[in-house]
Amino acid sequence: MFLAKVTFGSDGGNLPKRDTLEEAVELYLGALIRNGQIYGEYLFSWHDAKLVVYAHLARPDALAARHNSEWARKSLDSVIEGFGHLPTCEIIEDDVPNRFPAWRRSKSFYLFTNAFDDVSPICSGDTDRPIPLYLLPLPELIRESIHSWSRSYSYHDCIWLDSGSLEIPAYKQLADPSSDLSERGRTLCAEIERATKIPTFYFLMRYWGRNKGEAVRLCPGCGGEWHLSDTDVDERPFWDFHFRCERCRLVSHCAVSYEDERHARIGEFKKGR
């Protein structure tokens, strides 16, 4: 993602008008976030009577009108009405590639995010690079659903990392393929695959594992074999998963901790599920 300075314009010397202008800008920025055009938190301030916003763009062309959702288009109309013109955008980073990989060349996608990640949760299975939502031929409602799922996943990850009384319930949401969070994510994977014609996998967290048999555990979705190789986890990049089930569209890694096998059953295959 790339830091940008977006200048919206002047308040025309009308200080009471600032609240109305700020509301219009925030609605516009909210639409861009849900469409995957900008990422994370943004900062804005009035400088020399002009409203300026600093935000991270998915790509340098992310604010181009052709990428806007219907909500963003309507919100932008309100911004233009308030300021009298389109906002201007300046990328303030030095290292900006001239070209970006085409998402259509990816052999697969996987859906993944975490507590510290603000970028698109749709990643290329070939390069691990996030694919901006606005580039994919998805209905606007699906894009918004993916953004909503991503935030929910991040919240659950934060709860699990805090290791409080909700640690295990949060972990179940992250590691169990039949949890509400996972079911939502897997449904979105199916929508992404339907729209792009590219196999799309759902990532299942695996923290606690078994001292024996961890590397050959069964797919938690269908009970079939899904182990790919015995290569040590430290020698592989993240997206080179240890486990992948083509049938269930699930991917995962070997466990991180083997100190408490009581929790290893979470996310494992259960007969009769």
Domain boundaries, the chain: 2-91, 103-263
pLDDT at position 121 = 97
Q: 170: which DSSP letter?
A: H
Q: 105: which DSSP letter?
A: G
Q: What is the dihedral of CA 134, 56, 128, 110, to 10 degrees?
A: -40
Find tokens 């994370």 and name the residue: 40
pTM of the model: 0.92
CA gap 3, 96 in Å, rounded: 10
pLDDT at position 188 = 98
CATH number of 2-91: 3.30.70.100
pLDDT at position 48 = 87
pLDDT at position 231 = 52
Q: pLDDT digit of tens for each residue in the chain (273 aa)?
A: 899 999 999 987 788 889 999 999 999 999 999 999 999 999 989 988 899 999 999 999 999 999 999 999 999 999 999 999 999 999 998 788 888 889 999 999 999 999 999 999 999 999 899 999 999 999 999 999 999 999 999 999 999 998 889 999 999 999 999 999 999 999 999 999 999 999 999 999 999 999 998 888 999 999 999 987 655 555 666 668 999 999 999 999 999 999 888 999 999 998 765
Report the SS3 class of residue 230. Answer: coil
pLDDT at position 229 = 66
pLDDT at position 185 = 98
CA gap 188, 174 in Å, rounded: 15
Cβ-defined contacts of 130-134 (< 8 Å, 24+): 130/58, 131/103, 131/106, 132/36, 132/37, 132/58, 132/59, 132/62, 133/35, 133/36, 133/37, 133/58, 134/35, 134/36, 134/37, 134/58, 134/62, 134/67, 134/69
Find tokens 């015995």 and name the residue: 230
Report the SS3 class of residue 134. Answer: helix
pLDDT at position 155 = 96
Distances (CA, A) of 262 to 218, 235, 242, 257, 258: 18, 27, 22, 12, 10
